[in-house]
């Protein structure tokens, strides 16, 4: 099976062209441009098996970030494992809102491990979110 056929088959299996491309890029360790410049490249047995397993996981509704092991956030790429939360695009808006309201300017804000914080105690009842 070549890249063109693999992409078409994965698209049919998932009914989502973008996810098909992302999975194929991940399994072949290629960039998008490499996929489209080499449509006749034949996948090895190993690569076909990786793709088959990735499709199976996605069909079982495992998030794409867990399958490929990475996710972008603020133009940075983070390694994702089952032990991590997946950064969500809307979180960037929350970060922007916090930074706009922050009295700290020109300095780095401390980063808190919220999982540890939440595991230890609940936020006080008077805690408020950003409006």
- Say which residue the tokens 């020109």 belong to: 106
Distance of alpha carbon 107 from alpha carbon 49, whole angstroms: 48
Given its phi and psi angles, is residue 29 left (phi above 0), alpha (psi -120 to 50 degrees) or beta? left
According to the model, what pLDDT value does residue 95 have?
77
According to the model, what pLDDT value does residue 122 have?
47
- pLDDT, mean over the chain: 83
For the chain, the maximum distance between any two Cα atoms, rounded to a whole number of angstroms, is 61
pLDDT band at 127 (very low <50, low <70, confident <90, very high): very low
According to the model, what pLDDT value does residue 114 have?
47
| Residue of higher predicted confidence among 29 and 99 | 29
Render pLDDT for 8-62 as a digit per residue (tens, 0 to 9). 999 999 999 999 999 999 999 999 999 999 999 999 999 999 999 999 999 999 9
**Residues 99 and 111: beta-carbon distance below 8 Å:** no
Token readout for 114 is 């919220």
pLDDT band at 129 (very low <50, low <70, confident <90, very high): very low
Domains and CATH numbers, the chain: 3-65 (1.10.8), 71-120 (no CATH)
| Residue of higher predicted confidence among 110 and 1 | 1
Residue 14's contacts (CB-CB under 8 Å, 6 or more residues apart) are: 20, 23, 55, 58, 59
Q: Tell me the C-alpha to C-alpha distance, in Å, between residue 120 and each of 72, 83, 96, 123.
A: 29, 18, 27, 10
pLDDT band at 81 (very low <50, low <70, confident <90, very high): very high
Dihedral of the alpha carbons of 24, 29, 32, 35, in degrees to the nearest 10: -70
């Amino acid at each position: 099976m070549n890249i063109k056929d693999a992409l078409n088959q994965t698209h049919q299996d998932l009914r989502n062209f973008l996810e098909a491309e992302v999975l194929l890029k991940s399994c072949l360790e290629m960039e998008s441009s490499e996929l489209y410049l080499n449509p006749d490249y034949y996948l090895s047995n190993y690569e076909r098996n990786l793709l088959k397993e990735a499709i199976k996981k996605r069909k079982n509704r495992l998030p794409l970030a867990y399958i490929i092991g990475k996710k972008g956030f603020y133009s940075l790429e983070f390694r994702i494992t089952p032990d991590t939360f997946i950064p969500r695009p809307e979180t960037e808006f929350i970060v922007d809102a916090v930074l706009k309201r922050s009295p700290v300017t020109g300095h780095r804000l401390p980063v808190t491990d919220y999982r540890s914080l939440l595991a230890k105690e609940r936020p006080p009842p008077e805690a408020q979110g950003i409006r």
